[in-house]
Chain A
Amino acid sequence: MDIQTLANEIPVEGEYALEGVDFISSGEQYLTFSLGLEQYAVNILAVEEIRSWEQPTHIPNAPMFVKGVINMRGVIVPIIDLRLKFGIGEAKYDKTTVVVVLTAQHLTKSRTMGFVVDAVSDVLNAQENDIKPAPAFGGSLAQHYIEGIVNVAENVVTLLDVTALQTIEKQSDNY
């Protein structure tokens, strides 16, 4: 393939531009993903990488939603199945199942964890005033995980708080 054909392959600006993404806007960007039929999003700056699913090493007596740990370039990273944690959808592992690895600050140190989701979909741009507080009644999801909700076309995307997601309740003694 010569340089000319390569040059032709480069998309003209706007041609393939992601829907809903405005690269020069000042708002925050969020990575959206799906759990069952629902759409969620996390701040894109927290995303370390997106990996395909691999069987992790089991942690003894860990809660159901903690699937285990994997080796990510020499770092031990725990894997949490968000579908199990939130009780949404069905925890099945197939080709589209992905792990979103997120890093967030906890007081003085940062923590890296992988979260199993059904699929990642899009990057969403949300201005501060687009983000609405979630209604207090209804859903089974605990309020402290939710940063707010954003309307995208006809759908509603729930923004999640990464630090809250990474907080693990003390390991239970029930074994």
Chain B
Amino acid sequence: MSIDLSQFIPTFLEECFEGIELMEASLLNLEQGDEETINSIFRAAHSIKGGAGTFGFNHVTEFTHLVETLLDEMRDGRRNIAHKDIEILLDSVDCMRLLIEAIRDDCSYDDSKVIVTSQLLTATLNNNSIDENIVEDTTKDNENTSNAIADDNLTHWSISFIPEHHLVQTGNDPLLLLNALAELGKVSVTANCNSIPSLVDLDATELYISWQITLITAAKKEDIAEIFEWVEDDCQLVISNEESIDKKPAEINLDIANEADELITEKPTIEAKTKVKPNVTNDSSLQKPKAESGSIRVGVDKVDSLINLVGELVITQSMLSELGNDFELSKVARLNSGLEQLLQNTKELQESVMRIRMLPISFAFNRFPRLIHDLSKKMGKEIELLISGEQTELDKSVMEQISDPLVHLVRNAVDHGIEATDVRITNGKPEKGTVSLDAYHQGGSIVIEIKDDGGGIDSNVILAKAIENGLVDESTSLSESQVYDLLFEPGFSTAKTLSDISGRGVGMDVVKRNIQSLGGRIQIESTLGVGSTFKVFLPLTLAILDGQLVKVGREVYIIPLITIVESLQTQEALINRTSGDMVLYRLREDNVPVIPIYKLFNIPAQNKAIKNSLLVVVEADGQKVGLMVDDLLAQQQVVVKSLNENYQQVEGVSGATILGDGSVAMILDVPSMINMALKLAKKQQQNNIVAEEVIH
């Protein structure tokens, strides 16, 4: 009997990602080193390997096998857990993620990183202490090569490498040897395929090829011999010095010098890769085609409570239908109580279903220990990450969209916030910088705090920069928070030099836009010399919002309750008309511009006079406006439906909802309405200018 395995692949991939995350988190904790952690890492790797084997993802199996072997050695105590090994393992975890993602998205991946890492893994495995040697060797080689440039001491080596047929069966890969040679200098290789037998006699497990290699390097014979150390017994190896090149053509010299440079900068050891790593995380977080994960894991308790509620609903339904079978007026009281029960049930059911979409924010926070680990290494800053409130629950779709802005904010905190270690010491701060992440509920929203104990934000620097960029006038005086808001202006960067950690990719303006598109806002608090706090306020869920139903003409609109400051009836005395038909309403100290919805949306209205009309004062982006409506209706929770799905984005409207009577009502998008009103005003001004010109 054959089972179609493909149906299990999504589950397998999900388990892989879980395993990979677990491995990463444990590896970061491994630095203290305890057995239980290694065991759990090993188990995760093992189950990924096993699963991949079952589904025939052989490249994953092969790669994971290397990782597993290394872990096994650590587990058995045959290998000390060195810092280097952890770095290699972290890289391997990255590679595994790359491989699994490639399977999930069914696309190709950049295999150079995988090859490099697996080579490194093999090298590490081949000798318990080889990792030391590799580093030493390469440094030695580099010294040698650099010496060579100085001493003009390059040598032509001619190497004849004739492996025994069974070489590959011992687990050695000739290609790895050749690659290792290439790292020593300039290599040209000729393969001799003469001894390959006809297909009938060919044994796929045997190796029939031999190689003739010319190597131009400064390395000594011992260095070359060392590469072949593991195959020495299984091959005929002749290493001979062709000639010493004392007078070589200048171009070769240049060539080699370049290569030597490359060797130094791209020293294929750990440093080189740590340089690659942050970029990779960059790319994958920003440019990867967004594969929204189609499934979520739900706790059994949540499902149980759903089943209970549905059970109650069924009981209520049967009660009501029994009541309806022979209804008479005397039973009205029972009908009413039944309906009330139904209301209660549906409400609870709705809440429970919503709760299924909620995930603890640790899903978003989990990537930060690794990020901080990599960043601190790269920046040479010692940083401690404190995470709290990771159990705070957040809607899944909000979480997916907030993760990238959060990464940006954390990167900023490390790059711009925390000062260099020497600066910190001179300022009398602890050497280790602290970045803390916190999440908690506040009112109807979730607050995520990113806090650093760095230098704080110098508002004078920002102001100077803003004036330089022409964002503000020199004469305007701005409050502190207004100055901080300048950070979110497009094209504003105070980074003195653009580093590849921040100052590239998404800017703060994109961060703010992302947060706003989720219906949230961001706030900065900062004290110079003490640190800064970025607070992100997010709605609990995107699918449901509390709305105020208003009527304009024949249409019903919904204003999100969260934006409403107050509703009032206008008094004639407080209405002011200024600067050409702009209407301002005096609300205590403020002058609030009045926007009649009927004018903005081009619809007929019952009441066009501002006098004695109803005004809903709303606030967005710190700007208050009064929306003029015909009537205020009920307040209720509405389910947000997208207009985009079958139509397109409509200006001034964030979505639609279905009301109790089955009709559709538009949900107003206050910031976008303010924009519309501004555009409308600008257009009128332009028309006036044109008109003036015509007159003149």
Contact = CB atoms under 8 A, between A and B. Distances in A.
A111 B646 contact: yes
A152 to B, nearest CB: 31
Interface stretch (A57-65, A86-94, A119-127, A140-148): A57-65
Given A69-B656, A171-B651, A57 B665 contact: yes
B602 A61 contact: yes
Which of the listed residues A60, A61, A68, A78 has the most CB atoms from chain B within 10 Å of its own CB? A60
Contacts of A173: 679
A57 B650 contact: no
Interface in A71-105: 71, 74-78
Interface in B615-668: 641-643, 645-653, 656, 658, 662-666
Contacts of A170: 648
Contact of A60 (B651, B658, B680): B651
Contact of B647 (A59, A74, A109, A175): A59
B292 to A, nearest CB: 13
Contacts of A74: 658
B551 to A, nearest CB: 13
Contacts of B652: 60-61
Contact of B663 (A62, A71, A112): A71
Contacts of B676: 175
A175 B602 contact: yes
A52 to B, nearest CB: 15
Given A71-B658, A76-B641, A60 B666 contact: yes
Given A76-B664, A175-B602, A60 B650 contact: yes
B602 A56 contact: no
A113 interface: yes
A78 B663 CA distance: 13
A113 B646 CA distance: 7
Contacts of A57: 555, 656, 663-666
A168 interface: yes
A70 interface: yes
A78 B647 contact: yes
Which of the listed residues B602, B641, B646, B662 has the most CB atoms from chain A within 10 Å of its own CB? B646
B601 interface: yes
B600 interface: yes
A70 B658 CA distance: 9
Given A58-B554, A59-B653, 20 more contacts: A57-B555, A57-B656, A58-B601, A61-B602, A62-B650, A66-B647, A69-B643, A71-B662, A71-B663, A74-B658, A75-B641, A76-B641, A76-B645, A76-B664, A78-B647, A109-B645, A171-B650, A173-B679, A175-B602, A175-B676
Interface of A: 56-62, 66, 68-71, 74-78, 109, 111-113, 168, 170-171, 173, 175
7 contacts: A61-B650, A76-B646, A76-B647, A76-B658, A111-B645, A111-B646, A175-B600
